[in-house]
């Protein structure tokens, strides 16, 4: 009877592994949050009280875009590198049918939000850029969570709420951006690290 129950548990684990991408690293989430907080601090320091003078052609705007692009590149690069290392350590394939479904479900809302943000920039609605990026990133996490760890869903829901709050309090976009992308990633990255990574 005990062997029978053990076989059922082993089968269930195999099914979970085949339907979920579990090579996400909690530490990469923590680092992404640190990058976001650092980028937000630098942008805040450089821009200071010149929000009303920022335009599409202004130096401050181009500098903020460069900072946020650097944060994105560092975050994605760190996540990919650590996922590769974790997958190899666990003897798993990084790019399979599950990770492809994960990528597709994550990128569709994310790219939609990116295009929407660009249209807002073109029409000079700068105050809505931070809320839109937060909301669509949260939707991307929720949409992709069925193919990975459940904690990603809760991260997404948290970021969506922060994005909605940023929409209500227009003018504090950078602070909400730092809260969602910075603190949110650090908190959930820490939870995932102690919940999954340390066990290995």
Task: Kindly report, residue by residue over 142-161, the tens digit of the pLDDT.
Answer: 998 888 888 899 999 999 99
Look at residue 192 and tell me whether its pLDDT is greater than 80: yes
Residue given tokens 């908190």 in the structure block: 187
Average pLDDT over residues 148-177: 91
Q: Which of 56-60, 117-121, 160-164, 193-197 shows the lowest per-residue confidence on average (mean pLDDT)?
A: 56-60
Burial of 143 (0-12, 13-18, 19+ CB in 10 A): buried
Cα distance from N-terminal residue to C-terminal residue, the chain: 29
120 within 8 A of 167, measured Cβ to Cβ: no
Quickly state the pLDDT bin for 124 (edges 50, 70, 90).
Answer: confident
Q: How far is CA 119 from the centre of its chain?
A: 22
What is the three-class DSSP state of 21? strand
Q: Which of 4-18, 38-52, 185-199 has the highest mean pLDDT?
A: 185-199
Distance between CA atoms of residues 142 and 158, nearest Å: 10
More confident residue, 111 or 121: 111
């Amino acid at each position: 009877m005990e062997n029978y129950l053990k076989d059922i548990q082993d089968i269930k684990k195999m099914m979970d592994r085949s339907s979920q991408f579990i090579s996400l690293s909690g530490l990469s989430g923590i680092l992404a949050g640190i990058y976001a907080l650092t980028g937000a601090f630098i942008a805040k320091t450089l821009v200071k009280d010149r929000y009303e003078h920022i335009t599409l052609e202004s130096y401050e705007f181009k500098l903020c875009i460069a900072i946020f692009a650097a944060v994105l590149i560092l975050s994605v690069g760190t996540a990919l590198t650590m996922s590769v290392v974790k997958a190899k350590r666990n003897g798993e394939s990084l790019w399979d049918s599950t990770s492809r479904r994960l990528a597709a479900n994550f990128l569709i809302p994310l790219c939609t939000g990116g295009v929407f943000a660009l249209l807002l920039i073109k029409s000079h609605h700068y105050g809505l850029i931070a809320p839109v990026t937060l909301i669509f990133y949260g939707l991307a996490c929720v949409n992709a969570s069925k193919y990975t760890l459940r904690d990603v869903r809760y991260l997404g829901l948290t970021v969506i709420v922060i994005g909605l709050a940023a929409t209500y309090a227009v003018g504090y976009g950078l602070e909400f951006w730092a809260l969602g992308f910075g603190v949110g990633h650090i908190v959930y990255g820490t939870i995932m690290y102690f919940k999954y990574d340390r066990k290995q």
